[in-house]
Chain A
């Protein structure tokens, strides 16, 4: 099935959960947050948050920035 992660289309197996997605993308679950279709997913819920075809996923972390960096 097709999902969009941080603006990029990805093909993943049906029923992939968030933990599996992070593993596939080689992203450590520390210091990041995940949002599915605008809903923030709690870390404890990664294992049972299954993705659906067409889901919009955002994975964020922390970067250099002070006041507005545009």
Chain B
């Protein structure tokens, strides 16, 4: 098993276990270079109104070619199941993807999900044939319910969106992963490369991030750091770490010591 291979979302193979957002960059050019440096082959995008008053504006997808990247539309900014369902249907009707990163936000201050509405929207969109990737919190019971509702993956947060606080509850993530039969992708909360590695070492199948890269002083360099850290964490997970011991254990043989 390679570090980068074998993640499948709704039957679609992903080359990279890192999915990146496209918000908060200084320019489309910077977005493009950072996405390239991240090694991600799937990017998430927001669904918004076309600016009908100014048609000279450039479009993100002129820089992020849908022929090269898997485009994952999201329902960011939706606060009810109805809004999220409406956004998902509009996104799919463009023909860009059957995948939807489903977000139903419960509170603008902490951006935690409204899990009740999320579950309702997941059930309906799965019935309509969507490949649903729901953003939820690190609750093992909700993760199971989303899986049972037909979600293609479950995406628990590691910490609040954009907070950069890192993996706040590795134990919950472990429980979620041990009980899941769909991939678990950590979505939100990662602050720096070591956070990504920790999540991958725990056994997560992938990580989705935006602010940790786009908000860094040097986003392109951080994108490369995240690329490496996700792969390093995956390799370490597959390799099986040594047990933690309280006392030292010499790594050189005692035999043959000069006397």
Contacts and interface: CB of A to CB of B under 8 A. Distances in A.
Residue of B103, B187, B188, B210 contacting most chain A CB atoms (<10 Å): B210
Contact of B48 (A34, A42, A63): A63
Contact of A35 (B61, B90, B188): B90
A27 interface: yes
Given A33-B93, A43-B95, A61-B59, A67 B162 contact: yes
Given A6-B52, A33-B90, A40-B89, A62 B23 contact: no
Chain A, interface residues (CB within 8 Å), range: 20 to 34
B57 to A, nearest CB: 10
Given A33-B94, A67-B76, A70-B108, A62 B60 contact: yes
B91 interface: yes
Contacts, number: 133
B103 A67 contact: yes
Contacts of B211: 66-67
B71 A66 contact: no
Chain B interface residue number, banded? 35 or more
Interface of B: 20-25, 28, 31, 44-53, 55, 59-61, 66, 71, 73-74, 76-77, 86, 89-91, 93-96, 103, 105, 108, 111, 135, 161-162, 187-188, 208-211, 214
Interface of A: 5-8, 25-27, 31-35, 38, 40-43, 58-70
15 contacts: A8-B52, A27-B52, A31-B61, A35-B90, A60-B47, A60-B49, A62-B71, A62-B96, A63-B46, A65-B22, A65-B48, A67-B74, A67-B210, A68-B103, A69-B46
